Structure 1
Amino acid sequence: MDSTEQVPAGPTVRQLALLSIPAIAIGIGSALVLWSVSGLAELLQGFLWTTLPATFGADEATPWWIFTVLTLTGAVVGAVVWLMPGHAGQDSATTELSGPFPGLKALPSLTIVVVLSLAGGVSLGPENPIIAINAALSMALLARFAKVPPEQIAALAIAGTIGALFGTPVAAALVFTGMVGALKGGSLWDRLFLPLAAAGAGAATMDLLGGSKPSFPLEPMGELQPVFLLTGLVVAAASALLGIAAAWAFPYVHRTFHALGNPLIFTTLGGMVLGVLGILGGPITLFKGLEETGELLTNPDAYSPGQLAAFAGIKIVALLVAASAGFRGGRIFPVVFVGTALGLLGYALLPDLPISLAVACGVMGITLAATRDGWLALFIGAALVGDVTVLAPMCLIVLPVWLLVTKAPELVVSPPSAGVSVMNPDRR
């Protein structure tokens, strides 16, 4: 570096202290929005899958009921996207956690379709739309009163929502370390201070509200054996390859549905396809996948290798269809379910591979392919199984898997888009 070049100064202690107030407020607000939307979806889910089918002598596993609910969910979501103001914001297939984010007029329709999708059994998670809602609300409420750039406010909303989603600020901190390289001035912890404040507030608020956490402790790995590195790599690489295959197919599936033109048509058709997939896979392959992941891990020996392979295949196809057919939702929770099924498959097929390492590597591989974020993939894999001893082999296994995914297609469709993006704030 040129000795005459000055490094920009980081924020002062006073600035960090003052800005932590809106950061904590954003974190609390983000958790409240997540809790409210999730609560509405759970109430509607109980009505659609327990109360209502009972009046017709059916239940959540009845094939004709699965097909009917998902088809009608597709029709209603398609009508909302087509007719309501704002059209439910950007197509979730084209957005990442960092945006771009919609305007305020899109938030009512976006909230409706995410509640319908979560309750109706669509294989998408809440992360993308909830982050979009929180970012849009935070920018609208705070941009006028706080001298903070909109992209920084959006970043705090992302951190707060991630903290609430995963029940810990660590996940948000790891995500934001990947973004720090694009920011100038100050130390790493100066840059992480406000996102951690928002994420911590979001996580604590969600915990106080009784929110669920994506953690299902399994039998610990025990003492590391050299063979674990090889068998774990096999599971992680196979999982990543499935994610790469899905990413390759994603734009083609998306283009096929959207060629039909009208959201009412292609989202209804998507609901019908999801209904057929739901009949084939059963209730465990429906919904965002978090509770279903817990169901797999609660009794892992209850499923044959064939069943686990079928669960993974059906869920990844359902994710592609749901994301391509105009539903609004995130891709992380469904791929965690897929990775869990693949990890359990590896545990069943590879002798002496510990179950915690098998599941952690299965989740890490496909999450890495889907998000291109090594920190997040490592965190989710280790946190899901509740075993810190898997981190050491995972940190080695992730390296060749990263080489596998780094130049592969991404699990996102990327047409020109508008809105504020944290990673590219000039894109509007």
Structure 2
Amino acid sequence: MSSTVSPPPDPIAMLRSKSYLALLVLAALIGVPISAAAYFFLALIGVIQTWIFTTLPEALGSGAAPIWWPFVPLLVAGVLVALTIRYLPGKGGHSPADGFAMEGPPTGRQIPGVVLAAFATLSLGVVLGPEAPLIALGAGLGALTVRLVKRDAPPRSQTMMAAAGSFAAISTLLGSPLTGAFLLMEASGLGGATLGLVLVPGLLAAGIGSLVFIGLDAWTGLGTFSLAISDIPPAEAPTGAQFPWAILIGLAAVPVGAGIRWLGVALRPHIERRMLLLMPVVGLAIAGLAVGYAVISGRSASEVLFSGQDALGPFIANVSEYTVGALLLLIVCKGVAYGLALSSFRGGPTFPALFIGAVGGAALSHLPGLPMIAGVAMGIGAMSVVMLKLPLTSVLLPTLILASDGLTLMPLVIVAVVVAYVVSALFTPPAAMLAPTPVLKPGPSVRS
């Protein structure tokens, strides 16, 4: 039996082909409904959060939510997510303790489980973000659309539309369509000619998605759901004296992030064996951390709960109201709650890392020689790269979150990110530093 290896397809020829042009048209078309689905997904989560943590306690005659109230929704979250993972196809999506493991898109049967697990996690206060479920949802809908249009569509077309769907779903969540593109490209390990083939329909879908988000915000008034923060005091240009702070913040982020990840990974196998019993216990532990923070600091338990996406802007605007002790307590409580959430719930790892990094940078800014906004920018970048292992995305995130301040402070952020990434790599098993499985895997075919 002989076998021959056919050469990989010519990217230029593919770009000029009618089938690729058809994919571009399909990417533009699917960008609209997927972006709309992502928009209302985020809007509904916000509505449910407000109802559960504000409206429901008032309706029960408690007035403002009592200090113990977080125990109720977090217990329910543990039960609902455990049932979803156990009994619905797809196990609610991939575990966030693995970071951005770019697995294949969920099938049509698996999408409901991904959506339900994400709703229960995010709406009920668990410390995870919406980006991973949105990426999975967009990829699943994109691949499903291709299969509905053409049942015998080649795997390449399905994976390209899955990538385009992911681009559209998070088109404005991270502040800009380009940020989401960077995150997906870096997480999937795409490069070379393959990058161009996937990037063009993906960017087209993301651009259309951004317009959909803007249009729906103007129509509904529900919000833009973007991480970008406005009205930040202008930052001064970095000085040579601040570069040692970049090294220090990069070093400090490593044990914090490594400890959070270790907690999630160490607990995960124990919880998975007795999920229906232990996930409610994990939810109660997260609520206990939030309540403990509120009692000790006198501040809101919501600063520990949730992803930190909506709290980041108000925190930066009002950081002068926090004592150093409150900032350190917030890092500990939210960090442990984040590690517990990674162990078993379903959501994204990005936003809690950004928030904890910002709080850590703000705490260090009480020491001489470190401006607050510079500490926040470097903390965001350093914690992002420790938790995500994506250095380019981690440099870009503070730049877009903090607008012009991010551009001014980029040299400091780069140093902090590089130090954190390199030192983190020294203490991480080599396999864990590798890029996850690519979304699109073109290659030679073998005929025998």
Alpha-carbon deviation of 1:324? 1.0
- In structure 2, relative to structure 1, the CA distance for the partners of 1:33 and 1:407 (3 Å cut) is farther
Alpha-carbon deviation of 1:372? 1.1
- Per-residue CA deviations over 1:127-174 (Å, capped at 9, x if unaligned) read 111211221121111145365432222222222223232241211332
- Cα distance in 2 between the residues matched to 1:87 and 1:307: 37
The code of the aligned residue for 1:330 comes to G
Please state if 1:163 is matched with 2:176.
no
Q: 1:227-266 to 2 correspondence within 5 Å?
A: 227-259=241-273, 261=274, 263-266=275-278
Q: 1:16-415 to 2 correspondence within 5 Å?
A: 17-58=21-62, 62-94=66-98, 96=100, 98-143=102-147, 144-145=149-150, 148-175=156-183, 178=186, 182-183=190-191, 185=193, 192-210=199-217, 211-217=224-230, 218-259=232-273, 261=274, 263-281=275-293, 282-325=301-344, 327-349=345-367, 351-386=368-403, 387=405, 388-409=407-428
- In structure 2, relative to structure 1, the CA distance for the partners of 1:154 and 1:311 (3 Å cut) is same
- Cα distance in 1 between the residues matched to 2:201 and 2:170: 14
List gaps (5 residues or longer) in structure 1: none
Identity fraction in percent: 23
Which secondary structure does the structure 2 equivalent of 1:178 belong to? helix
**TM value normalised by structure 2:** 0.83
- Cα distance in 1 between the residues matched to 2:262 and 2:77: 27
Which secondary structure does the structure 2 equivalent of 1:290 belong to? coil
2:93/2:114 contact within 8 Å kept? yes
1:359/1:385 contact within 8 Å kept? no
- In structure 2, relative to structure 1, the CA distance for the partners of 1:166 and 1:125 (3 Å cut) is same
1:167/1:206 contact within 8 Å kept? no
- In structure 2, relative to structure 1, the CA distance for the partners of 1:59 and 1:376 (3 Å cut) is farther
Aligned residues: 412
- Cα distance in 2 between the residues matched to 1:7 and 1:84: 38
- Cα distance in 2 between the residues matched to 1:55 and 1:26: 40
1:95/1:128 contact within 8 Å kept? no
The code of the aligned residue for 2:199 comes to L
- Per-residue CA deviations over 1:373-418 (Å, capped at 9, x if unaligned) read 11110111122222111113323333322211234438x999xx9x
**TM value normalised by structure 1:** 0.86
- In structure 2, relative to structure 1, the CA distance for the partners of 1:423 and 1:289 (3 Å cut) is farther
1:59/1:65 contact within 8 Å kept? no
Alpha-carbon deviation of 1:59? 6.0
- Cα distance in 2 between the residues matched to 1:280 and 1:110: 31
List gaps (5 residues or longer) in structure 2: 1-6, 218-223, 294-300, 444-448
Alpha-carbon deviation of 1:198? 1.9
Q: Choose 332-341 or 230-239, whichever is displaced more.
A: 230-239
